[in-house]
Chain A
Amino acid sequence: MSATTLSTDLRADARIPLRAHVRHTGALVRRNLLWIRQDPESMFDAVLFPIVFTLLFVYVFGGSIGQSLGGGQEAYVQYIVPGLMAMMGMNMAQGVGTGFNQDFNTGVMDRFRSLPIGRGSVLFAKISVEMMRMLIATAILLVVGVLVGFDITHWPGLFAAVGLSAVFGSALMWIFLTLGVVMKNAQSVQAMGFLVLMPLQFGSSIFAPPQSMPGWLQNFTEYNPLSSLADAARGLMVGGPVADDLWMTLGWSVGITAVMAPIAIHKFRTKT
């Protein structure tokens, strides 16, 4: 892909009035929402994931990791809930790729691409719906968190943290959308996502403070954007330093989106 074709794509989309873009995206969002109504089971992951993970981590690891935090299980709840919030965005983002890939292997994508709509509309719609799922999952996480003892001390910070995870999650979605378009089948998208995500998730400060990790791993976690997101969310929700991690996360989000969104749209446009 050359820079000129990329800019041609963007210019071509720009010729469509913004209002038309919004209308097309809206119509496609409706399509994706109808899917959920038709197949409520597709919401299972968004609903169950936060419940299962919160309970697992709090009750399985909470006691021991909490000790190193200078408390017990209660201390770990304060630590893990913001961390899981960061993780959620990523897991939802991964689902986008597989879902989109399946969608692509049906004839309906050909129809969309032969319609006079912006190439991005189909992708924006998918992302909007996934964001809604992500917010639902986050709300459930917070409810379960509070039930197991999470103490929300700072409401504006809470909303800021939710917003920050959403921004970062949407940036990741562009990566997975690209994978979803480029890769042949949903299984490979999933496998690929798993391979990339597992080390990123566990090699971060999401689940445990990195202090006890070996030096090389600490270096990795330090530059892992998921650590920044988790630490920023922690700072915002339960107090502590925020600024550095906040800027770091926003920087990553903007950077990933700026690079991956045009690539995703281009790959979508030129997929044969």
Chain B
Amino acid sequence: MTRNDKEPGSAVSVRGLVKHYGETKALDGVDLEVREGTVMGVLGPNGAGKTTLVRILSTLLAPTAGQATVAGYDVVRQPRQLRRVIGLTGQYASVDEKLPGWENLYLIGRLLDLPRKEARARADELLERFSLTEAARRPVSTYSGGMRRRLDLAASMIGRPAVLYLDEPTTGLDPRTRNEVWDEVKRLVGDGVTVLLTTQYMEEAEQLASELTVVDRGKVIASGGIEQLKAKVGGRTLRIRPADPLQLRPLADTLDAQGITGLAGTVVDTERGAVLVPVLSDEQLTAVVGSVTARGITISSISTELPSLDEVFLSLTGHRAGAPQDAVPAETHEEAVAV
């Protein structure tokens, strides 16, 4: 039961993690460091290896190679100690549909060796905290999507975990419910829980994470502070829609010629008839608007938004998120990995 305190302050430490399923490389040498008390967002498209990573870190899956420790415990050699310090909220609510909410929490409490009285008290307490007291005695199958996720979070918190894994916690939720879940996660973070969050949404990462690791096809393609990465991909994206769709190309050319935009360059979204312009600062934004006006192009709408996962990928790797490997020239990909 010795803890390997080799890196104080590091709650999760992953080194060269590899997982192969036959020919498929779900993880292809991932390094990751989550400092205690922070939220690490792991951003990537479907099939990037996010869930595989979480499953290895929660001992549900054995790695093919590499090392990973959580709170100092090795995922392969000390699974039992490790399980005691983690909480897991999966992509699909991992609660028992047929049991009432309270029973779900009581069950987990008992499985975590809490004495009956304490397990009962903890169940009550967490239901209260996640605003589920009224639904405590109803089977989970009658819960709404948001209630389920909240119960799922509550279940993950019973053992007061040092590290909480949130595997795409809001996938499939409507925007209102998503905000609800975000608020709960923020409260947990406020209490000092270390969180490893996987997500497909830049917005979610920005809302919750302080640091970000971008993964694609089992590899880390970028990592760092969220502000840093946002600057890299163009802090915001300006979506400009000309009144006349024929003006799309000239508009993009004008902006490119001016050279005032962010690193990623402009992207023409012909489907929605808009030009996407990454901008790094308010000054750039103003300059862009200025040059559009100077050119005399009529605009029907203009809005700023966070870069989508697609745009993040485009600017980091030069290919769209989740694009098939052979669609990308090998060179471009090599460059991207070096980012």
A residues apposed to B, CB below 8 Å? 12, 15-16, 20, 23-24, 26-28, 30-31, 34-35, 38-39, 106-108, 110-117, 121, 270, 272
Stretch from B39-47, B94-102, B200-208, B219-227 that touches the partner: B94-102
- What CA separation (Å) do A65 and B111 show in the bound complex? 52
- What CA separation (Å) do A42 and B147 show in the bound complex? 27
Q: Given A38-B99, A38-B139, A107-B92: A15 and B80 within 8 A (CB)? A: yes
Report yes or no: A107 in contact with B80, Cβ–Cβ below 8 A.
no
- Cross-chain contact of A39 among B60, B98, B100 (Cβ < 8 A): B98
User: Which 9 pairs, one residue from A and one from B, show the smallest C-beta to C-beta distance?
Assistant: A107-B94, A27-B110, A116-B83, A111-B94, A107-B92, A114-B58, A116-B84, A107-B90, A114-B88
- Cross-chain contact of B108 among A35, A115, A270 (Cβ < 8 A): A115
Nearest chain A CB to B303 CB, angstrom units: 37
Check B32 for interface membership: any CB of A closer than 8 A. Answer: no
B93 partner residues in chain A, CB cutoff 8 A = 107
Contact-size category for B: 20 to 34
Nearest chain B CB to A98 CB, angstrom units: 15
- What CA separation (Å) do A35 and B98 show in the bound complex? 6
Report yes or no: B86 in contact with A114, Cβ–Cβ below 8 A.
yes
Q: Please provide the chain B residues from 46 to 83 with a CB less than 8 Å away from any CB of chain A in the complex.
A: 55, 58-62, 79-81, 83
Nearest chain B CB to A259 CB, angstrom units: 24
Nearest chain B CB to A114 CB, angstrom units: 4
Check B173 for interface membership: any CB of A closer than 8 A. Answer: no
- Cross-chain contact of A31 among B59, B62, B79, B107 (Cβ < 8 A): B107
Report yes or no: A107 in contact with B99, Cβ–Cβ below 8 A.
no
Nearest chain B CB to A32 CB, angstrom units: 10
Report yes or no: B94 in contact with A108, Cβ–Cβ below 8 A.
yes
- What CA separation (Å) do A38 and B100 show in the bound complex? 9
B residues apposed to A, CB below 8 Å? 55, 58-62, 79-81, 83-84, 86, 88, 90-100, 103, 107-108, 110-113, 139, 155
Which interface residue of B55, B83, B107 has the most chain A CB atoms within 10 A?
B107
Report yes or no: B60 in contact with A110, Cβ–Cβ below 8 A.
yes
**Secondary structure at chain A's binding surface: helix, strand, loop or mixed?**
helix
- Cross-chain contact of A110 among B62, B86, B90 (Cβ < 8 A): B90
Nearest chain B residue, comparing its CB with the CB of A12: B80
A110 partner residues in chain B, CB cutoff 8 A = 58, 60, 88, 90, 94
Q: Given A107-B90, A110-B94, A114-B59: A31 and B83 within 8 A (CB)? A: no
- Cross-chain contact of B112 among A38, A116, A272 (Cβ < 8 A): A116
Nearest chain A residue, comparing its CB with the CB of B139: A38
Q: Given A30-B107, A108-B94: A113 and B60 within 8 A (CB)? A: yes
Question: A28-B107, A106-B94 provided; 12 other pairs, C-beta below 8 A?
Answer: A12-B80, A31-B99, A31-B107, A34-B99, A34-B100, A106-B97, A107-B95, A108-B94, A115-B112, A116-B80, A116-B112, A116-B113
Nearest chain A CB to B154 CB, angstrom units: 12
Nearest chain A CB to B213 CB, angstrom units: 22
- Cross-chain contact of B111 among A12, A27, A35 (Cβ < 8 A): A27
- What CA separation (Å) do A28 and B96 show in the bound complex? 11
Report yes or no: A272 in contact with B60, Cβ–Cβ below 8 A.
yes
A113 partner residues in chain B, CB cutoff 8 A = 59-60
Nearest chain A CB to B72 CB, angstrom units: 16
- What CA separation (Å) do A108 and B60 show in the bound complex? 13
Report yes or no: A23 in contact with B113, Cβ–Cβ below 8 A.
yes
- What CA separation (Å) do A27 and B115 show in the bound complex? 11
- What CA separation (Å) do A27 and B139 show in the bound complex? 18
Which interface residue of B60, B79, B95, B100 has the most chain A CB atoms within 10 A?
B60
Report yes or no: B96 in contact with A108, Cβ–Cβ below 8 A.
yes
